[in-house]
A and B are shown apart, each in its own frame.
Chain A
Amino acid sequence: MRWHSIPVLAVALACVGCDVLGSGTPGELGEGGFNYECIAWGDPVCDGELAATFDDFQGVPSDIPIPNAIVVGGRFDATFFEPDEDFGYLREHSVRSASQYLLETSSAGFRAVRPGVVALVVSDGYGVADLLHLTIVEPARLSVAGYTGQLLAPGETADVWLTPRDETGVALGGALSYEWTSSDASVVRILPSVSSDTEALRDDQVLLQAVGGGTATVRATTGDLLVEIEVFVDGEPLPDGSGEGSGGDA
Chain B
Amino acid sequence: MMPHSLRSLLVLATLALVLASCGRRFDYVDVTLGSSPPLPVTVNSSQVVMPVGVAAQVFFQAVRRNDSVDGDGVDVRSTDSRIVGVIDTGGSAWILHGENIGRAELEVWYDNELVERIPVEITEQ
Contacts and interface: CB of A to CB of B under 8 A. Distances in A.
A129 B55 contact: no
A125 interface: yes
Interface in B60-116: 85, 87-91, 93, 95, 97-101
B125 interface: yes
A127 interface: yes
Contact of B100 (A101, A131, A133): A101
B78 to A, nearest CB: 13
Given A28-B35, A98-B85, A131-B35, A123 B53 contact: no
Sort A-B residue pairs by CB-CB distance and give the 9 closest, nearest first: A129-B89, A119-B55, A98-B97, A118-B53, A127-B90, A99-B53, A98-B55, A102-B53, A116-B125
Contacts of B125: 116-117
A125 B90 contact: yes
Contacts of A117: 38-39, 51, 53-54, 125
Interface of A: 28-29, 98-103, 116-119, 121, 123, 125-129, 131, 133
Given A116-B125, A119-B55, A121-B55, A99 B90 contact: no
B21 interface: no
A100 B52 CA distance: 10
A101 B99 contact: yes
Interface residues of B, number: 26
Most buried by B among A29, A103, A126: A29
Given A116-B125, A121-B87, A121-B97, A102 B35 contact: no
Contacts of A127: 89-91
Contacts of B55: 98, 119, 121, 131, 133
Contact of B53 (A28, A98, A126, A129): A98
Contact of B54 (A119, A125, A129): A119
Nearest to B88: A125
A129 B99 contact: no
A99 B95 CA distance: 13
A98 B35 contact: no
Contacts of A125: 88-90
Contacts of B98: 98-99
Contacts of B99: 98-101
Contact of A129 (B37, B52, B93, B100): B93
A44 to B, nearest CB: 23
Nearest to B94: A129
B91 A98 contact: no
Interface in B15-53: 34-39, 51-53
B38 A123 contact: no
Nearest to B36: A28
A168 B123 CA distance: 29
27 contacts: A28-B35, A28-B36, A29-B57, A98-B98, A99-B99, A100-B99, A100-B100, A101-B52, A102-B53, A116-B51, A116-B53, A116-B125, A117-B39, A117-B51, A119-B97, A121-B87, A121-B97, A123-B88, A125-B89, A126-B90, A127-B89, A127-B90, A127-B91, A129-B87, A131-B35, A133-B38, A133-B54
B52 A116 contact: yes
